[in-house]
Amino acid sequence: MKPLKVGVLGGTFDPVHNGHVFVAEYVLQELGLDRVYLVTAKSPPHKSHFIADAEFRHAMVEEAIKGKPRLLASRLELDREGKSYTVDTFRQLKEELPPGTELYMITSVEYLRPEPAESESASADACGKSSDKHLHWLGNWEGVDELFRLCRIVVTPRRHMDAALAREWAALLPAADIIVVDLPSPPVSSLMVKRHLQRGMPIHALVPPAVEDWIKRTGLYTADGSSADLAHLEQFAPTTETYSTERTLSPTSN
């Protein structure tokens, strides 16, 4: 029996957009994966004022993948107590999925960049912090040695950072089994979606129709850039039954 091949695409998904779905489906087809989990990240403490509530971000992921049975929304990180690192998610998947399952972490080339981008360095300088240790670099992630043992790393281009650059940077991490998938970089970002909404511009070309409808119904992103009142949004919150961890992890759920 062939081993199960599972991709994992994590993110804040604030909001989830067409680029996320495109990358998940492209990698799934390119590598012959059986499914791809879209794992909603918790709200990082240092960004809590700028990121929408995790439950609502996850609800939008559920909306985005409706009708796509090989894409599954996972709330592993949301249900985990305390700090949650990527390695924790892959450790749990290894424990809960069938023995022999092959795991693939799907990420953007920017996390292979060995030095911080100019914007990161400027931000660190402004805060009086040293940018010597580039925290976004994959080689500095928590538990990275174990992570490299648990999964293969799938890297996709982003904007000006192409596949050739990705392969160059991948060579700096010899302990990792890195696959570079040369796909067209989606011309969309979550920030672009929010800016369109704040300016009253249409977003139908940026997000799946169900996500656009959800945002319009809930008023999650308002014109001034803040999130809508949480009390109002409670009626749109996912239920435990609908979004259970057991459902997203079940080998037969697709």
Q: Give the residue extent of every domain in the chain.
A: 5-249
Residue 118 has a pLDDT of 57
Closest C-alpha to 171, from 201, 212, 205, 138:
138
* pLDDT-derived band at 229, boundaries 50, 70, 90: very low
Residue 34 has pLDDT above 90, yes or no: yes
Sheet holding 71-74, edge to edge: 71-74, 35-40, 5-11, 102-108, 152-156, 178-180
Per mean pLDDT, which of 114-123, 125-134, 204-213 is the most reliable?
204-213
CA-to-CA distance for 22 and 28, rounded, in angstroms?
10
Q: How far apart are CA 69 and CA 59, in angstroms?
A: 16
The answer to whether residue 1 scores a pLDDT higher than 70 is: yes
Query: Going by C-beta distance under 8 Å and a sequence separation of 6 or more, which residues neighbour residue 194?
Result: 14, 15, 221, 225
Mean pLDDT across 18-24: 98
Which of 171, 220, 166 minimizes the C-alpha distance to 194?
220
Q: Is 86 exposed, middle or buried (0-12, 13-18, 19+ CB in 10 A)?
A: buried
CATH topology assigned to domain 5-249? Rossmann fold (3.40.50)
| Strand blocks (E) in 83-219 | 102-108, 152-156, 178-180
142 backbone dihedrals φ, ψ, rounded to 5°: -60, 130
Averaged over 79-99, what is the pLDDT? 94
210 within 8 A of 64, measured Cβ to Cβ:
yes
> Which phi and psi (to 5°) does residue 242 adopt?
-70, -35
Q: Would you state the pLDDT for residue 44? A: 61
What's the rounded Cα separation, in Å, for the pair 190 and 14? 6
Rounded mean pLDDT of 41-50? 64
Q: What is the pLDDT of residue 247?
A: 30
Tens of pLDDT, residue by residue over 100-113, are: 999 999 999 999 99
pLDDT of 242: 32
196-220 average pLDDT score: 94
β-strand 102-108 against 5-11: which pairing, if any? parallel
pLDDT at 209 over 90: yes
Residue 32 has pLDDT above 50, yes or no: yes
